[in-house]
Chain A
Amino acid sequence: MSDASINASMIREDDASFGDYFALLKPRVMSLVVFTAFVGLMAAPVGVHPVIGFCAILFIAIGGGASGALNMWWDADIDQVMKRTKSRPIPAGKVDKGEALSLGLALSGLSVIMLALATNVFAGAFLAFTIFFYVVIYTMWLKRATPQNIVIGGAAGAFPPVIGWIAATGSMTVEPWLMFALTFLWTPPHFWALALFMRNDYDMADVPMLTVTHGRRSTRKHILVYTVILAAFAVATAFTGVGGPIYLAVALVLNALFLKGAVQIWRRDEEICEADNFKVERSFFKLSLLYLFLHFGAILAEALLRPYGFGGW
């Protein structure tokens, strides 16, 4: 048929726009991936050509986006019952599941191959492992199987600085794993705070979040315990190769605030929370976003100042 006219039955008012396909890549998660991978790349003790550095960050971000699309493909059933996710492109009826799968697979292949070509094979392989970990280990297997889903899933989100470091150096040392651990330990309190005030979402979706399986009291205890471990680790990182006085100052202030928030959450009961609409939990969640951004920002500042004789100890 050479006529390009549109049959009335083909017209869908909710036909996907370019932005809907972009939304499949979870742009907000991608921004975290871009930033932490950039810090990993910049903190590495090897200079990288700006074009190669740009390509490395771009392909790590595309790999992260591909994981997001594959996650939305697999989780389409639970996304449509959760308030937080039901406006995503698949549950909103704008993009078919098959399209999300195709886009995710195509971008996974593209990002891994291009990262390997632009930097080194080790970095490409590590990106492939990260996508596999997030999609298969977390999304397909553990998310619906264990209340520790967030803890293990946090590892996938923590890999980007390691990939950035490997992209620059081609090898693995302990420093990128310190950045990994920072994000890994930060993820549980961040998501459990969200689960506390988005309370009915996970119940309805039948996802075994800690709030559902062990109760809200236990979740509050878990937030406190993880925050104590995170705070000790985050401050100790100041005395390692990626830390320095700027990082130490930032870590001391932020961890004091984060610990204060965690203690408040632990002491609160549900009646008080209902009365103030989870005010403390919401501000703890907002603080957690700033917490991660400023810790990585401080690591970046130390790395950028090091060539000028500042930064580091």
Chain B
Amino acid sequence: MSLRKEHELHDRRKGRNTGVGLLLGGFVVLVMALTVVKLTSNSFTFPEVQEDGTLGGSN
């Protein structure tokens, strides 16, 4: 493949792709942080398991 001159369009698309990548990465971190906070809060309890194996209401 021959070497081609980088077009300005490449820069613009690179900027767009970098932006989307950072947003997605940030979203993953946010969901993880939210999960940690929810799971470590005092109000969190695991749902009870009924005798027939189904999940009942939480305490």
Contacts and interface: CB of A to CB of B under 8 A. Distances in A.
Interface string B1-44: 10010010110110110111000000000100110010001000
Given A5-B4, A6-B9, A18 B15 contact: yes
Given A6-B7, A11-B9, A49-B41, A16 B16 contact: yes
Given A5-B4, A11-B7, A49-B41, A17 B12 contact: yes
B9 A51 contact: no
Range of interface residues on chain B?
10 to 19
Contacts of A16: 16
B7 A17 contact: no
Contact of B12 (A15, A58, A117): A15
A51 B34 contact: yes
Interface in B40-55: 41
A118 interface: yes
The 5 nearest A-B residue pairs measured at CB: A18-B19, A51-B37, A18-B16, A51-B33, A18-B15
Nearest to A49: B37
A5 B5 CA distance: 10
Nearest to A20: B16
Given A6-B7, A6-B9, A11-B9, A17 B33 contact: no
Nearest to A18: B19
B15 to A, nearest CB: 5
Range of interface residues on chain A?
10 to 19
A118 B19 contact: no
Interface in A1-55: 3, 5-6, 11-12, 15-18, 21, 49, 51-52, 55
Given A16-B16, A17-B15, A49-B41, A55 B30 contact: yes
B12 A52 contact: no
Nearest to B9: A11
Contacts of B41: 49
Contacts of A117: 34
A24 to B, nearest CB: 13
Interface string A116-142: 011000000000000000000000000
A202 to B, nearest CB: 34
Contacts of B18: 18
B12 A55 contact: no
B43 to A, nearest CB: 11
Contacts of A5: 4
Given A11-B7, A51-B37, 6 more contacts: A6-B7, A11-B9, A16-B16, A17-B12, A51-B33, A118-B34
A49 B43 CA distance: 12
